[in-house]
């Protein structure tokens, strides 16, 4: 029975044999560096250098070509340029190699046409035999647990490896070793450091899903520039959930400039950023904003804590540090714990009168005269049911302070309670005293609190996320064919979506009948499959209360459409709706992630001042309410001053209906834009006043 693609990829992490095409006797060349590392890091498998000009390479017997090998290696490193790399991939596939790691560059990253064609050729020949390809333009793979260091990175010379609990999988070679260097400089061992390059075949998600199965890995870091296969990332997230393994991703290309750079670097189109954000959140993967944030919290994840919430207690010998810790906590989404009256009373018994027993706890100068203060107050804090985590800030200490006692008592507290705890201390000698006791220390209280907030927020996200349903095969849906507004509203209504009461009128008699049937005031607007923004052409009129005016508008609209050469499907006469707020609801079939729904503030300024959130199907009404609560207009939805709460539940129901419509392949809908969505007070519901719908062409 043949292996699955993922099973085959496992061979890259612990191969029984490795061949190097383009092997060099010079350990400072691309074809020589992997041989150096395989020996240095204790690889136990067979090594086959391929070099037609040498009988030995770095003391290993060399072979003139792949066909001269005594057996088919499990993994082949390809370090020869251009077409030679493609030919080597073809030979590997023919002889039954499991994985080819193509280090050669000059493919899709520099030539979007011919280079991509060569990548496609490698992919096709590999998949025809079940072989996997990592690369091209890959810096290589490194597993320091097995010694299979199949990489040419200089970083492993400059900063020697130490096996540890962290794994890194990256599209970029540089970004596979930068976090490695940052972690090693902090004394944290790294087991895996892999770079997938241009990903003509194996992707970050696929490789990471295999790495995530390693029981010794306790934290997985990703660097991603483009996502071509969301299903692989979803598989990774599923493996991580089963193992309770935290995954942090740095997805570059947040801005238009960054997306353009990603295209030129990897030859791949960047994904729409807000969709990526929603997908990662749905999968329980924390998205780091930058490289510093990717690694800043690593030590916290490795502590084995089981956080119970996000309520923080701040303790310091500086009032200013207390204030800044509270400010940072609030900005980072944490709340300051409300200590119980019993806790405050006990703190007041041990603290001097000039100290503060509320949270933040300001010790002031008391720390100078009482070296046992930490051992006195920390157990009291730990007993409070509202205390979920602790930050201790010591902006200044030194001569006269019993720093060793402070560090010892803090470490004992952390070990005995298991409460997440971080320390801030700008003085190196003070910080070192706490680090020597196994505590995590940052230079400032802001860095300490921000990093702790990331860790606590991520663990909460991991508990709440359930992943997604079946993600569709990646595909290009094209631009589609637009329905006129009447057909769009009718389609939405058939799927249970609330729409405004309206009539499509093709004659003056129809207009007069609609005028009598719907009551006044009315809205009259053109109905044309060629017009998206009708108001910009003067094709929408509000507050019509006179039948003669309605008839004249019917004639005017027809003349305007005819003059512009636009399809004239009649006019829509609709009851004028007066909701309390206009929202927008949209959706599309994303070529990578499938059905995507966006919900947010609506009206004509939606593009100028966007306030919206994205959801990836499938989702629940509860998920919609959660994203509504994160909008800037959330206070208005909840009701302010004399305005009643709005019917957010109706928006949740409508969003779920829209997601189901997009997921229904028989409907053929690829894009929907509902703006405005008129929203009433709680219990009054919502309704679509306008809709643009595209069907797959």
Residue 476 inside a domain? The answer is no
Is 475 a domain residue? no
548 with 449, same domain: the answer is no
Predicted pLDDT at 266: 31
Q: Judge if pTM exceeds 0.85.
A: yes
Same domain, 313 and 212: no
In a domain, residue 436? The reply is: yes
Say whether both 242 and 267 belong to one domain. Answer: yes
Q: Which of 575, 605, 628 is the last residue of a domain?
A: 575
Which CATH number characterizes residue 512's domain? 3.30.1490.20
If asked whether residues 248 and 386 sit together in one domain, one would say no
Q: What is the C-alpha to C-alpha distance for residues 519 and 348, in angstroms, rounded to an integer?
A: 71
- How far is the CA of 452 from the CAs of 247, 306, 391, in angstroms? 16, 13, 8
How far apart CA 222 and CA 239 sit, in angstroms, is: 15
Neighbouring residues of 158: CB distance < 8 A, sequence distance ≥ 6: 181
Could you tell me the CATH number of the domain that includes residue 227? 3.40.50.720
Query: Quick one: pLDDT at residue 355?
Result: 82
Q: Does residue 444 sit within a domain?
A: yes
Q: Based on the domain organization, do 290 and 406 belong to the same domain? A: no
CATH code (residue 383): 3.40.50.261
Residue where a domain terminates, one of 300, 323, 340? 300
Listed residues 402, 437, 464: the one ending a domain:
464
Neighbours of 180 (CB within 10 A): 26
Q: What is the C-alpha to C-alpha distance for residues 284 and 220, in angstroms, rounded to an integer?
A: 13
Are 571 and 585 within one domain?
no
Q: Are 72 and 96 in contact (CB under 8 A)?
A: yes
State which H helix or E strand residue 665 sits in. none
pLDDT for 606: 76
Which pLDDT does position 385 carry in this prediction? 93
Q: Which segments of the chain have a pLDDT < 70?
A: 1-2, 254-271, 468-469
Burial class (CB in 10 A: 0-12, 13-18, 19+), 101: buried
CB 544 within 8 A of CB 524: yes
Residues 556 and 661 in one domain: no
Residues 35 and 84 in one domain: yes
Q: Are 318 and 362 in contact (CB under 8 A)?
A: yes
Burial of 429 (0-12, 13-18, 19+ CB in 10 A): exposed
The dihedrals phi and psi of 91, each to the nearest 5 degrees, come to: -65, -40
Q: Within a domain: residue 495?
A: no
Q: Based on the domain organization, do 132 and 212 belong to the same domain?
A: yes
Condensed to tens digits (0 to 9), the pLDDT of residues 586-631 reads 999 999 999 999 999 988 777 777 889 999 999 999 999 999 999 9
Predicted pLDDT of residue 695: 95
Kindly state whether residues 586 and 540 are assigned to the same domain: no
Residue 497 domain flag: no
567 and 422 within one domain: no
Residue 206 included in any domain: yes
CATH code, domain carrying 657:
3.30.470.20
| Domain interval for residue 683 | 581-695
- The structure tokens listed for 224 are 């991603």
Q: Other CB atoms closer than 10 Å to residue 554's CB: what's the count? A: 22
pLDDT for 270? 35
* pLDDT computed for residue 272 by the predictor: 79
How many angstroms separate the CA atoms of 36 and 669, rounded? 56
Q: How high is the pLDDT of residue 245? A: 98
pLDDT value at residue 190? 98
75 vs 8: CA distance, rounded Å: 10
- Are 22 and 83 found together in one domain? yes
Residue 492 lies inside a defined structural domain of this protein: no
- Residue 129: the pLDDT is 96
Check residue 254 and give its pLDDT: 62
What's the rounded Cα separation, in Å, for the pair 498 and 491?
A: 11
- If one counts the domains in the chain, the total is 4
């Amino acid at each position: 029975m043949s292996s699955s693609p993922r099973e085959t990829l496992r061979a890259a992490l612990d191969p029984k044999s490795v061949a190097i095409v383009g092997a060099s006797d010079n350990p400072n060349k691309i074809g020589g560096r992997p041989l150096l590392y395989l020996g240095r890091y204790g690889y136990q498998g067979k090594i086959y250098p391929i070099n037609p000009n040498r009988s030995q390479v770095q003391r290993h017997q060399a072979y003139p070509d792949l066909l001269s090998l005594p057996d088919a290696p499990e993994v082949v490193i390809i370090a020869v340029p251009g077409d030679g790399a493609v030919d080597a991939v073809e030979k590997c596939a023919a002889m039954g190699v499991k994985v080819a790691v193509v280090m050669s560059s000059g493919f899709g990253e520099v030539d979007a046409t011919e280079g991509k064609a060569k990548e496609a050729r490698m992919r096709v020949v590999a998949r025809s035999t079940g072989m996997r390809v990592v690369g091209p333009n890959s810096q290589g793979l490194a597993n320091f647990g097995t010694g299979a260091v199949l990489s040419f990175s200089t970083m492993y010379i400059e900063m020697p490896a130490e096996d540890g609990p962290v794994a890194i999988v990256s599209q970029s070679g540089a970004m596979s070793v930068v976090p490695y260097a940052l972690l090693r400089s902090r004394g944290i061992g790294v087991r895996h450091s892999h770079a997938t390059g241009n990903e003509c075949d194996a992707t970050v998600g696929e490789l990471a899903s295999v790495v995530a199965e390693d029981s010794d890995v306790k934290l997985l870091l990703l660097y991603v520039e483009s996502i071509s296969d969301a299903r692989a990332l979803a598989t990774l997230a599923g493996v991580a959930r089963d193992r309770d393994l935290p995954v942090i991703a740095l997805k570059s290309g947040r801005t238009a400039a960054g997306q353009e750079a990603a295209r030129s670097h990897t030859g791949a189109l960047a994904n729409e950023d807000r969709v990526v954000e929603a997908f990662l959140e749905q999968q329980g993967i924390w998205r780091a904003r930058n490289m510093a944030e990717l690694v800043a919290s690593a030590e916290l994840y490795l502590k084995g804590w089981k956080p119970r919430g996000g309520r923080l207690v701040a303790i310091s010998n500086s009032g200013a540090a207390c204030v800044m810790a509270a400010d940072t906590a609030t900005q980072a989404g944490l709340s300051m714990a409300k200590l119980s009256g019993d806790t405050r009373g006990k703190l007041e018994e041990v603290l001097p009168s000039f100290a503060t027993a509320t949270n933040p706890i300001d010790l002031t100068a008391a720390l100078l005269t009482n070296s046992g203060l930490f051992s006195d107050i920390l157990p009291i804090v730990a007993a409070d049911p509202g205390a979920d985590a602790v930050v201790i800030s010591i902006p200044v200490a030194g001569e006269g302070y019993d720093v060793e006692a402070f560090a010892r008592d803090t470490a004992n507290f952390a070990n005995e309670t298991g409460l997440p705890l971080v320390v801030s201390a700008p003085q190196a000698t003070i910080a070192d005293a706490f680090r020597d006791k196994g505590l995590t220390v940052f230079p400032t209280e802001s860095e300490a609190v921000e990093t702790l907030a990331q860790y606590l927020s991520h663990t909460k996200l991991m508990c709440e996320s359930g992943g997604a349903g079946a993600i569709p095969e990646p595909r290009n849906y094209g631009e589609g064919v637009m329905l006129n507004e009447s057909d769009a509203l009718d389609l939405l209504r058939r799927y249970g979506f609330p729409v405004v009461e309206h009539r499509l009128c093709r004659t003056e008699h129809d207009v007069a009948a609609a005028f009598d049937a719907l009551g006044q005031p009315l809205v009259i607007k053109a109905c044309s499959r060629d017009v998206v923004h009708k108001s910009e052409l003067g094709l929408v009129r509000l507050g019509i209360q006179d039948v003669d005016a309605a008839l004249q508008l019917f004639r005017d609209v027809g003349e305007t459409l005819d003059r512009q050469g636009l399809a004239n499907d009649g006019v829509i006469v609709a009851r004028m709706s007066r909701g309390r707020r206009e929202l927008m609801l949209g959706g599309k079939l994303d070529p990578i992630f499938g059905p995507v729904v966006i919900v947010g503030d609506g009206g004509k300024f939606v593009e100028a001042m966007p306030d919206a959130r994205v959801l990836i199907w499938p989702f629940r009404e509860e998920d919609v309410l959660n994203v509504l609560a994160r909008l800037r207009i959330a206070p208005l939805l909840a009701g302010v001053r004399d305005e009643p709460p709005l019917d957010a539940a109706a928006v949740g129901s409508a969003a779920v209906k829209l997601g189901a419509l997009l997921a229904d392949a028989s409907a053929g809908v690829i894009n929907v834009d509902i703006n405005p969505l008129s929203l009433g007070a709680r219990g009054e519901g919502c309704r679509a006043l306008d809709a643009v719908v595209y069907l797959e062409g």
